[in-house]
């Protein structure tokens, strides 16, 4: 929920900065600085979301991993998704992106 609010606030702020800059003239340096800010923000957000996902998998998977594996082997989509995510992030198994998508 907070991520959606943070995104909205960030993009609203960015829109206002662009609108203000357009109305008062911009220079190339300022535009590049804003683009860098957005790239940095996206990297930060992705990293924090990845950390949150990994923490949740580690916590819940400590007791549920065997169930996820069994469900995946039985072809249950939810189990496959959880098990693949474990492989993708390397939680409770070795990190293996190829195994995550198969």
pLDDT tens, the chain, 102 aa long: 455 655 555 555 555 455 455 444 556 666 677 777 778 877 877 888 888 888 888 888 888 888 888 998 998 888 888 888 888 888 888 887 887 777
- Residue 19's nearest CA partner among 8, 29, 28, 11 is 11
Q: Which of 43, 87, 39, 86 is nearest to 64 (CA)?
A: 86
- CA dist 18 and 1 (Å) reads 26
Unique residue bearing structure tokens 């990293």: 47
Q: Measured in whole angstroms, how far is the alpha carbon of residue 69 from the centre of its chain? A: 23
């Amino acid at each position: 929920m907070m991520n959606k609010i943070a995104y909205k606030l960030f993009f609203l702020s960015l829109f206002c900065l662009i609108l203000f800059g357009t109305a008062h003239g911009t220079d190339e340096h300022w535009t590049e600085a804003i683009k860098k800010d957005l790239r940095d923000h996206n990297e930060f957000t992705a990293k924090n979301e990845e950390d949150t996902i990994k923490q949740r998998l580690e916590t819940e998977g400590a007791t549920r991993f065997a169930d996820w594996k069994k469900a995946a082997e039985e072809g249950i989509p939810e189990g496959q998704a959880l098990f693949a995510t474990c492989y993708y992030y390397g939680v409770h198994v070795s990190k293996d992106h190829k195994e995550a998508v198969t």
